[in-house]
């Protein structure tokens, strides 16, 4: 497995692969890799010829300094997992290569407007500007590719599809299913920061989604069901919504059909999120 940190070497590596007629699969990550990332690497391996993974903790997508400092960093384990999953090239760019003015703000920002201001964007101002800006830069360096993202960050996936559409990146975005522990907890790099009791309470998120998926009722009833489960299980609710899976606009009680339920909340001060398919029946 090739390990690179230089942006120009990374750009040339990807372009050399395309020159050989190979499809580049690209998996952007912030490290602290787990089985969810492994599933992205395996999907990339299956659906492209050569897999590039990036490891970069992007400070621009953190709205709180303490959250950035607490974010787990496990570089040696990350390289071992990437190797085990057959990744061909791991790129770990430096902070100053990615954001030359850091810690001063970077003047150029990619922003998706309203889509990035709801849900995670409302709770973490500037978060999606940070995600959209870094992903735009990662795509610019990697060049034409097929890029793999987890559905666990459902709004992030919508934001990335939007920048690809609006800025005409030659990138095919592939959404991959959420990977869960046996008890249903969606895998997240943040789970390691939970206490044992907190981890049990965190199951409230997947339980809320399961409860909503069981009832085909108007959207407001499904919202209420999710709130009740989250609160009963000790999750401090950030939001519990039923949305259109493409626009992420909240569903009204007049609507019927397949939708996406999004939940987020705090456990042990850690922000957790999850989502799943639901079906609503208009009243
Ligand atoms: O999902 C992540 O790990 C990050 O948000 C991403 C897409 C790598 C951008 O920093």
Displacement of CA 126 from its chain's centroid (Å): 15
110 pLDDT band, cuts 50/70/90, is very high
156 and 34 assigned to the same domain: yes
**Domain assignment of residue 73, yes or no:** yes
**Domain assignment of residue 282, yes or no:** no
CA 1 – CA 23 distance, rounded (Å): 17
Q: What is the CATH number of the domain that holds 207?
A: 3.30.1300.10
Residue 198 has pLDDT above 90, yes or no: yes
Q: What is the CATH number of the domain that holds 111?
A: 3.40.50.620
55 and 130 assigned to the same domain: yes
Q: Which residues pair with 171 in a beta bridge?
A: 145
144 pLDDT band, cuts 50/70/90, is very high
CB-CB neighbours of 78 under 10 Å: 21
C-beta 189 within 6 A of ligand 1: no
**Domain assignment of residue 246, yes or no:** yes
Ligand 1 mean position to 224 CA, how many Å? 31
CB-CB neighbours of 76 under 10 Å: 7
Backbone angles phi, psi at 174, to 5 degrees: -115, 120
Ligand 1 mean position to 5 CA, how many Å? 17
Last residue of a domain, one of 176, 203, 225: 176
Q: What is the mean pLDDT of residues 130-159?
A: 98
C-beta separation of 45 from 85 below 8 A: yes
Q: What is the mean pLDDT of residues 197-213?
A: 98
C-beta 14 within 6 A of ligand 1: no
193 and 172 assigned to the same domain: no
Task: Give residue 229's pLDDT.
Answer: 98
Q: Which structural domain, as residue segments, surrounds residue 36?
A: 2-176
Number of domains the chain contains: 2
- Per-residue tokens: 25: 């699969």
157 and 268 assigned to the same domain: no
Q: What is the mean pLDDT of residues 118-124?
A: 96
Q: Tell me the percentage of the chain whose pLDDT exceeds 70.
A: 100
11 and 77 assigned to the same domain: yes
Residue 283 has pLDDT above 90, yes or no: no
Average pLDDT, the chain: 97
Q: What is the mean pLDDT of residues 165-169?
A: 98
Closest ligand 1 atom number to CA of residue 131: 9
C-beta 131 within 6 A of ligand 1: yes
Q: Which of 37, 127, 207, 227 is catalytic?
A: 37
52 and 130 assigned to the same domain: yes
Q: What is the mean pLDDT of residues 232-243?
A: 98
Pick from 26, 29, 116 the residue to mutate for probing ligand 1's pocket: most ligand atoms within 8 Å of its CB.
29
93 and 154 assigned to the same domain: yes
Residue 239 has pLDDT above 90, yes or no: yes
Residue 23 has pLDDT above 90, yes or no: yes
Is 37 part of the annotated catalytic residue set?
Answer: yes
Q: What does the buried/exposed string (b/e) look like for 239-257 if buried means 16 or more CB atoms within 10 Å of the residue's CB?
A: bbbbbeeeebebbebebee
Residue 168 has pLDDT above 90, yes or no: yes
Last residue of a domain, one of 141, 176, 211: 176
Pick from 95, 110, 134 the residue to mutate for probing ligand 1's pocket: most ligand atoms within 8 Å of its CB.
134
13 and 148 assigned to the same domain: yes
Task: Give residue 25's pLDDT.
Answer: 99
Task: Give residue 122's pLDDT.
Answer: 96
C-beta 153 within 6 A of ligand 1: yes
**Domain assignment of residue 115, yes or no:** yes
176 pLDDT band, cuts 50/70/90, is very high
Last residue of a domain, one of 176, 197, 219: 176
Task: Give residue 9's pLDDT.
Answer: 98
Q: What is the mean pLDDT of residues 32-38?
A: 97
**Domain assignment of residue 183, yes or no:** no
**CA nearest ligand 1 atom 8, residue:** 29
**Domain assignment of residue 84, yes or no:** yes
Q: What is the mean pLDDT of residues 71-99?
A: 97
86 and 153 assigned to the same domain: yes
Task: Give residue 178's pLDDT.
Answer: 98
Pick from 131, 133, 162 the residue to mutate for probing ligand 1's pocket: most ligand atoms within 8 Å of its CB.
131
**Domain assignment of residue 181, yes or no:** no
100 and 122 assigned to the same domain: yes
171 and 90 assigned to the same domain: yes
24 pLDDT band, cuts 50/70/90, is very high
103 and 128 assigned to the same domain: yes
Closest ligand 1 atom number to CA of residue 160: 7
**CA nearest ligand 1 atom 9, residue:** 131
**Alpha helices, DSSP H only, in the chain?**
7-19, 35-47, 65-70, 75-84, 95-98, 120-123, 127-142, 154-167, 196-214, 219-232
C-beta 134 within 6 A of ligand 1: yes
128 pLDDT band, cuts 50/70/90, is very high
**Domain assignment of residue 283, yes or no:** no
């Amino acid at each position: 497995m090739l390990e690179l940190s230089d942006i120009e070497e990374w750009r040339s590596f990807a372009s050399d692969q395309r020159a050989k007629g190979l499809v580049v699969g690209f998996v952007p990550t912030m490290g602290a890799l787990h089985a969810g990332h492994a599933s992205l690497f395996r999907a990339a391996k299956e659906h492209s010829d050569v897999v590039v993974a990036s490891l970069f903790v992007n400070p621009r997508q953190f709205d709180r300094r303490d959250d950035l400092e607490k974010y787990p960093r496990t570089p040696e384990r990350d390289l071992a997992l990437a190797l085990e999953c057959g990744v061909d090239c791991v790129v770990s760019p430096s902070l100053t290569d990615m954001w030359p003015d850091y810690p001063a703000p970077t003047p150029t920002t990619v922003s998706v407007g309203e889509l990035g201001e709801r849900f995670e964007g409302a709770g973490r101002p500037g978060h999606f500007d940070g995600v959209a800006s870094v992903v735009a830069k990662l795509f610019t360096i990697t060049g034409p590719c097929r890029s793999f993202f987890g559905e666990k960050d459902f709004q992030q996936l919508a934001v990335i599809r939007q920048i690809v559409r609006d800025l005409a990146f030659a990138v095919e975005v592939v959404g991959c299913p959420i990977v869960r522990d046996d008890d249903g907890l969606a895998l997240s790099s943040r789970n390691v920061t939970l206490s044992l009791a907190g981890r049990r309470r965190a199951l409230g998120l997947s339980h809320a989604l399961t409860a909503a998926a069981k009832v085909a009722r108007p959207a407001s009833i499904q919202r209420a069901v999710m709130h009740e489960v989250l609160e009963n299980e000790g999750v401090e609710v950030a939001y519990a919504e039923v949305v259109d899976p493409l626009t992420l606009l909240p569903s009204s009680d007049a609507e019927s059909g397949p939708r996406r339920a999004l939940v987020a909340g705090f456990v042990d001060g850690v922000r957790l999120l999850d989502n799943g398919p639901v079906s609503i029946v208009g009243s």
